[in-house]
């Protein structure tokens, strides 16, 4: 599958460029990050003395999925609450623009993802070519994911609608009722079309009562790796 090959190429290049042994590394959620963890697990099996070998590095998850992935790969899991600062955080994204602003939260893990990305000296995005965007909101058309306090979801949706957004409560597929995040919150996807002013959009979304976190990662990433259909990797920095 060329998309999966593209994800893998991006993830492996990012891991080998940014992760060295002894580091505290934030690990994101979704499907692309799986290839990053598999690369790290392979590096944990390298012989002593190999500069790419991983043995004392620890990894901070961003979700139940991410924690399970790390544990199953035999990598050492550390918790964000026990760490002052991370050396690097690596995560996927749903869409990235040329200023490296991202829409994230397709997997509903944006709250912990933004904490981990913010706690890291460097935040690096890994994705396939479908995520490369000229203007945020034009490729990822499912809306900006928002982490919402459940009791406030109708208030938040009314306030978002008053600002011209089409807000939908994200419903679960194999469970009756809405998606519930690892933090016990709801997800509202707010549709705006293309986003003109990303920082302004992030600021006012965050100011809506009941919005605990947004999937807009504005000016946070220092580099993005995009796997291409031919297996090459395009880098934006």
Footprint on this chain of ligand DER (rule: CB under 6 A): 28-32, 91-94, 104-107, 109-110, 113
Contact 43, 52 (CB under 8 A): yes
Catalytic residue list contains 213 = no
Nearer to ligand DER, 29 or 214 (CB): 29
Nearer to ligand DER, 165 or 214 (CB): 214
Q: Give residue number: closest CB to ligand DER.
A: 30
Query: Could you say which of 113, 147, 202, 213 is catalytic?
Result: 113
Nearer to ligand DER, 117 or 157 (CB): 117
Rounded CA separation 73/91 (Å): 17
Cβ at position 162, least distance to ligand DER in Å: 27
The two tokens of residue 129 are: 């070519």
Cβ at position 9, least distance to ligand DER in Å: 13
Nearer to ligand DER, 26 or 30 (CB): 30
Cβ at position 1, least distance to ligand DER in Å: 13
The two tokens of residue 141 are: 């058309």
Cβ at position 184, least distance to ligand DER in Å: 17
Contact 194, 134 (CB under 8 A): no
Strands 86-91 and 24-27: parallel
Q: What is the DSSP letter of 192?
A: -
Rounded CA separation 13/203 (Å): 33
The two tokens of residue 58 are: 């620890």
What Rg, from alpha-carbon coordinates, does the chain have?
18
**Residues recognised as catalytic:** 113
């Amino acid at each position: 599958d060329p998309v999966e090959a593209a994800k893998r190429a991006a993830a492996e290049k990012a891991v080998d460029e940014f992760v060295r042994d002894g580091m505290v590394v934030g690990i994101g959620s979704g499907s692309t990050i799986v290839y990053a963890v598999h690369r790290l697990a392979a590096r944990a099996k390298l012989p002593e003395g190999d500069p790419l070998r991983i043995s004392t590095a620890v990894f901070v998850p961003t979700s139940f999925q991410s924690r399970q992935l790390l544990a199953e790969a035999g990598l050492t899991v550390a918790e964000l609450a026990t760490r002052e600062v991370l050396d690097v955080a690596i995560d996927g994204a749903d869409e990235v623009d040329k200023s490296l602003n991202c829409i994230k939260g397709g997997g509903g893990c944006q709250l912990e993802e933004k904490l981990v990305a913010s706690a890291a000296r460097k935040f690096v995005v890994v994705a396939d070519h479908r995520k490369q965007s000229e203007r945020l909101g034009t490729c990822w058309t499912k809306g900006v994911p928002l982490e919402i306090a459940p009791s406030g979801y109708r208030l938040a949706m009314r306030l978002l609608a008053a600002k011209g957004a089409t807000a939908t409560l994200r419903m679960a597929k194999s469970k009756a009722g809405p998606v519930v995040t690892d933090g016990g919150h709801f997800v509202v996807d707010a549709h705006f079309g293309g986003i003109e002013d990303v920082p302004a959009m992030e600021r006012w979304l965050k100011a809506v009562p009941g919005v605990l976190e947004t999937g807009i990662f504005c000016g946070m990433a220092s580099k993005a790796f995009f796997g291409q259909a031919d297996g090459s990797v395009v880098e934006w920095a």
